[in-house]
Structure 1
Amino acid sequence: MTCKLSLATLSEAAKTAAVPTYERASLKAGIVHFGVGNFHRAHQAIYLDDLFNLGQDHDWALVGAGILPSDAAMREKLAAQDFLTTVVEQDNNKTAARITAPMVDILPVGDVRTIIAKLADPTIRIVSMTITEGGYFIDASGKFNPDHPAIAADGQNPAEPKTVFGLVVAGLKARKEKGIVPFTVMSCDNIPHNGVVTANAVIGTARLSDPAFADWVKANVAFPNAMVDRITPATGQREIDLLKNAFGIEDNWPVYCEEFKQWVLEDKFTAGRPALEKVGVTFVPDVTPYEHMKIRILNGGHAAIAYPAALMDIHFVHDSMEDPLIRAFLAKLEKEEIIPIVPPVPDTSLTDYFALIEHRLLNPKIADTIPRLAQDGSNRQPKFILPSTQDNLSQGRDVVGLALVSALWCRYFAGKTDSGKDIVFNDASADRLHAAALKAKDDPMAFLAFDDIFGAVSKSELFRKRFAHALKTLWEKGTRETLQLYLDNKLAV
C-alpha cells in the first residue's frame, strides 16, 4: 500500500518517514529562492526544516522562483504535492527518509510582475539562489560579463527582466522606491567567493541601466560568501521507484543524498536572518579558507575522476573509486598538487578532510553518476581545476597530474570512450569543445586556445608541454596505461 505525498497524507507517510513537527500553516515566507533543484532541497531547505522543527523562526519559510523551463516543470511536480519533498539520506550503513515542508509556494515561472512584487514584499528579507556554476555570466578570470546578450537585454529593458539578476535588480529598485530595507542576496552555488561573484552580477546588471542605483546597491545590499556541500545526485525514475517500493511514498520528484552536509556562511545580512547556527550552520567572518578547501579538494576531485572514469566506461562514482587506478590517481593528484596549495583552514586537517571525501565517494547507496560529474566542464574546469594549476605554476611547482586532468577532459570531448562507445555531452560549449578536441589529436594547442576557459594557464610553457604529452599518451596508450604511467612517475618528459 502506498500513499501519494501531500499535506493530507502526512500521517500515513509518518509510518515510514520522519515528518515535520510543525504545522505548515504556521509558516510565513521570508526567503525567495531561485533554482528549486535537488541540491537546494537537500541542503538549504533541510537546514530550515531542522530549524522549524525546533519551533524556531517560522517567519523564514521559502518561496521558490525560476526562469527556466526546468523550473516550470519542478513547480508543476511540487505543486501537485503541496510543495513537500521527500529527502532520502543514505550512508554506507543506513538509509532514512524524511518529509520536508519549509517551502510554501513556487511563483509562476516567467511571470515577471508577480516575481518582482514578491521580491518587493517587506516580509522577504533574503533572496537566495542555486542557479549552477554557469548561471553567473562570468569568464575564465571570474569577472562578470555585462556584454552577454541576456544581461545586455536586461540592461536595455530593466522593467521586463529575463535573467535572475535582472529580476533581483528590479526587486531591489522597487524596495528602494517604497523605502523598504533591501533584502540580502545569498548565493548557495559552488563558486569561489560566490557572494562577491553575485554582487558583481547584480551591481553590473544594475549599472547598465542606472549607474546611480548600482552604486546604491553596492553600498546597501549584503552579499555573504558561503561554502556549501552535500552530494546530491539527479533524480530519475529509479529514485522515484525506490522511494515507492522501500517507503510506500509516491513523490513526483524525491531527493536522494548522502548523510553528510556542510554550510559555512559569512554573517553579513541587511535585514536579519534565521538562527541557522542552531542547526549546524557555521557562521564565520571569512569563508575563504573553507571555500578553497571544498572547491579544490572535493569539487576538483570530482572533476579529476569524471573523465578517466567516463573514458573507461564506468557509470557510477563509487565504481570509479573502487577501481584501483582511479582511486590511486586521485590520491596522488590531491596529495601532490592540490592539497599542498590549499591555504590552512581553522581547526581542520586537510588530510583528514580528503579521507572523508574518499569515504563519501565510495558510498554505493548514493549512486552518483560519472555523467553528472562530467557535465558542464566548460564552467567547472575554470573554477575547480585550473585555479590549482595556476597556483602551482605561480609557485614554481610541476603540474604533471593537473595537466593530465585537462588532457583527459580534452580526450573525453573527442567523443568516444577507449572502447569506442559514443559519449553524450552535457555542456553549453559542447560543439566548440568537440571540434577543438578532434583537432587537438594532431595539434594539442587547439584545445588550449579558449582563453575564456584556460586563461593564463594556457600561456605557461610547462603546462603546454605537460598537456601535450599527456594527451599524446592518452591517444597512443589509452586511459588505463596513461594513469599507470602517472602513478609510476613516468608520464613527465
Structure 2
Amino acid sequence: MTTKLSAANLPEITTASVPAYGRGDLAAGILHFGVGNFHRAHQAVYLDDLFATGADRDWALIGAGVRDADEAMRQKLLAQDWLTTVVEQEAGGSSARITGVMIDYIRPGDSAAVIERLADPAIRIVSLTITEGGYYIDPASQKFDPTHPDIAYDAAHMDAPRTAFGLILAGLLRRRAEGTQPFTVMSCDNIPGNGHVTQNAVAGLAALVDPALAKWVRTSIAFPNGMVDRITPATSDRERQLLAEQFGIEDNWPVFCESFRQWVLEDNFPAGRPALETVGVQFVRDVAPYEHMKIRILNGGHATIAYPAGLMDIHFVHEAMEHPLVRAFLAKVERDEIIPVVPLVPDTNLDEYFALCERRFANPKIGDTIRRLALDGSNRQPKFIIPSAADRLAAGQSVVGLALVSALWCRYCFGTTDSGTVIEPNDPSWARLTAQSQLAKDDPKAWLAMTDIYGDLARNHTFVTAFTHALTSLWAIGTKASLEHYLEDRL
C-alpha cells in the first residue's frame, strides 16, 4: 500500500519527514532556472532546513524552465503540489524527507510570465542549475560565445527571449525601468568561476543589445561565485520502485542522493539573502580554491573512472570502484597528476579530500551510473581534465595518466565497448565525436584536431605523443591491458 505524494496526503506519510512549516506561510524570494534533480537535492534541501527553523520563510522558490523538456518535470511536480521526496542513501541505510520549498513553477516558454515574476521586488535572487553545457561557452577558450544562434535570437527579441540569460536580462531591464533594485544572479552549476561565467553570459548578451547596457550589468549586478557538491543520480523507474517499496510513497519524480552535501558561497548579495550559514552553507571571501579542488579532484575523478568503466561494460559507479583496475587507475591519476597541481585550500587536506571522494564514489546505495558520468564529455573534459593537463605541461611534468583519460574518452566515443556492445549517443555532439573517433583509430591526431576542445594541448608535442601512445594501446590490447600497463609504468 502506497501513499501518493500531495499536500493533502502529507499527514498520512509516516516513513519520511515532512515539512516542519506551513507552506501557506511561504512567500517567494528566489526564482530558479533548471528544476532538475541536483537543485532539488541541494539548494532546495538547504532552504527546507532553514524554513524548519522558523526563519526566512519569504525566500521560497519559484521554478522556471527554458527547454520544452522542462514541461514534463513541471507536470510531474504540479500533480503533487510541487513537493519532492529526497532519499539520502548510504551503505548503512536510507532516510527520506519531503521538501516543500517550491511554491510555483512557471510554464516553459511563457516568457511574459517569467519576466513578470523577475520584475517583482520580492524576487531578490535568481539562481540557476542549467548544466555545464548551458552557458554558451566556447570549449577551447572557455569564454562566452556571443555568436550562438540562441544568443543572437535573444538579442533581436528582448521582448520575448528564450534563454535563461535573455530572460534574466529582460527582467533586469524591467526592474531598472521601474526603479526596482536589481536581483542577485547566483549560479549553482559545476563551472570554474561560475559567477564570472554567468556575468559574462548576461553582459555578453547585453553587449549585443547596447554596449552601455553591458557596462551597467557588470557594474550594477551581483554574480557571486559558488561551489556546490552532492552526488545525485538521474531518476528512473528503479528509484520510483525503491521509494514505493521501502517508504510506501508514490512520487512522480523523487530524488535519490548521498547524505554528503557542501555549498561554499561568496557573500555578495546586495538585495539580501536567506541566512543559509545557519544550516551549513560556508560563506567565504574567495570560493576559487574550493571550486578548483572540487572540479579537479571530484569531477575530474568522475571523468577518470567513467570511460574505462564504460568500455568494460560496468553499469554502476560503485561497481567501477569495486573493480581493482579502475580504482587503482583513479588513485594513480589523482595522486600522481591531478592533486599535485591543485592549489592549497584553507583548512583542507587534499589527500583526505580525495579519500572522501573515493568513499563517496564507492557508496553502493546511490545507484549512480557510469553513463551519467560519461555524459557530455565535450563540455566536461575542457573543464575537468584538460586544465590539469595544461598545468602539468606548463610545469614540465608528465601527463601520461591524463592523456590516457582523454584517449579513453576518444575510444568511448567510437560507439562500442571492448566487448562490441553499442554505446548509445551520450553527448550533444555525439555524431561529431563518433566521426572524429573513427578517424582517430588510424590517426590519433584526428581527435586532437578538435582544437575548440583541446586548444593549445592539440599542438603540445608532449601531450600529443602521450595521447597517441595511449589510444594506440587501447586499440591494440584493449582497456584492461592498457590500464595494467599504465599501473605498472609500462604505458
State the TM-score, normalized to the length of structure 1.
Answer: 0.99
How much does 1:336 deviate?
Answer: 0.4
Note the alpha carbon deviations across 1:4-61, whole angstroms, 9 max, x for none. Answer: 1011111111x10011110000000000000000000000000000000000100000
How much does 1:425 deviate?
Answer: 2.0
How much does 1:270 deviate?
Answer: 2.1
- Write the letter of the residue equivalent to 1:136: Y
Structure 1: how far apart are the matches of 2:411 and 2:269?
45
How much does 1:411 deviate?
Answer: 0.5
Matched, 1:256 2:262: no
Q: Is the 8 A contact 2:68 2:109 kept in 1?
A: no
Matched, 1:112 2:127: no
SS at match of 1:7: coil
Q: Is the 8 A contact 2:224 2:269 kept in 1?
A: yes
SS at match of 1:185: strand
State the TM-score, normalized to the length of structure 2.
Answer: 0.99
SS at match of 2:39: helix
- Write the letter of the residue equivalent to 1:67: V
Listed as ranges, the matches of 1:197-212 within 5 Å are 197-212=197-212
* Equivalent residue number for residue 136 of structure 1: 135
Structure 2: how far apart are the matches of 1:425 and 1:310?
13
Listed as ranges, the matches of 1:17-56 within 5 Å are 17-56=16-55
Note the alpha carbon deviations across 1:66-86, whole angstroms, 9 max, x for none. Answer: 011221111100010000000
Q: Is the 8 A contact 2:406 2:467 kept in 1?
A: yes
Structure 1: how far apart are the matches of 2:433 and 2:408?
13
Structure 2: how far apart are the matches of 1:425 and 1:299?
21
- Write the letter of the residue equivalent to 1:129: L
How much does 1:207 deviate?
Answer: 1.1
Structure 2: how far apart are the matches of 1:114 and 1:31?
15
Deviates more, 1:156-165 or 1:473-482: 156-165
- Write the letter of the residue equivalent to 1:473: S
* Equivalent residue number for residue 461 of structure 1: 461
How much does 1:352 deviate?
Answer: 0.3
* Equivalent residue number for residue 237 of structure 2: 237
Where in structure 1 do 4 or more consecutive aligned residues deviate above 4 Å? Answer: none
Structure 2: how far apart are the matches of 1:148 and 1:118?
27
Q: How many residues align?
A: 490
Listed as ranges, the matches of 1:416-431 within 5 Å are 416-431=416-431
Structure 2: how far apart are the matches of 1:24 and 1:215?
40
How much does 1:268 deviate?
Answer: 0.6
Structure 1: how far apart are the matches of 2:68 and 2:328?
41
Q: Is the 8 A contact 2:410 2:447 kept in 1?
A: yes
- Write the letter of the residue equivalent to 1:343: P
Listed as ranges, the matches of 1:227-306 within 5 Å are 227-306=227-306
Structure 2: how far apart are the matches of 1:60 and 1:379?
32
- Write the letter of the residue equivalent to 1:44: Q
Task: Give unpaired runs (5+ residues) of structure 2.
Answer: none
* Equivalent residue number for residue 86 of structure 1: 85
* Equivalent residue number for residue 121 of structure 2: 122
Listed as ranges, the matches of 1:313-462 within 5 Å are 313-462=313-462
Structure 1: how far apart are the matches of 2:158 and 2:219?
20
Q: Is the 8 A contact 2:33 2:164 kept in 1?
A: yes
Structure 2: how far apart are the matches of 1:342 and 1:226?
18
Structure 2: how far apart are the matches of 1:152 and 1:428?
20
* Equivalent residue number for residue 216 of structure 1: 216
- Write the letter of the residue equivalent to 2:64: A
How much does 1:326 deviate?
Answer: 0.3
How much does 1:426 deviate?
Answer: 1.6
Structure 2: how far apart are the matches of 1:175 and 1:24?
28
* Equivalent residue number for residue 67 of structure 1: 66
SS at match of 1:443: coil
SS at match of 1:59: coil
Structure 1: how far apart are the matches of 2:201 and 2:282?
26
Deviates more, 1:150-159 or 1:115-124: 150-159
SS at match of 1:352: helix
Structure 2: how far apart are the matches of 1:465 and 1:288?
32
* Equivalent residue number for residue 167 of structure 1: 167
Structure 2: how far apart are the matches of 1:217 and 1:469?
48
SS at match of 2:385: helix
Identity among equivalent pairs (%): 65
How much does 1:459 deviate?
Answer: 1.3
How much does 1:405 deviate?
Answer: 0.3
* Equivalent residue number for residue 12 of structure 2: 12
How much does 1:156 deviate?
Answer: 1.5
Structure 2: how far apart are the matches of 1:451 and 1:62?
40
Note the alpha carbon deviations across 1:174-217, whole angstroms, 9 max, x for none. Answer: 00000000000000000000000000000001111122122111
SS at match of 2:32: strand
Q: CA RMSD in A?
A: 0.6
Structure 2: how far apart are the matches of 1:345 and 1:91?
27
SS at match of 1:87: strand
Task: Give unpaired runs (5+ residues) of structure 1.
Answer: none
Note the alpha carbon deviations across 1:360-390, whole angstroms, 9 max, x for none. Answer: 0110100100000001000000000000010
- Write the letter of the residue equivalent to 1:146: P
Structure 1: how far apart are the matches of 2:53 and 2:488?
54
How much does 1:457 deviate?
Answer: 1.2
Note the alpha carbon deviations across 1:403-442, whole angstroms, 9 max, x for none. Answer: 0000000011111111111011221111111000000011
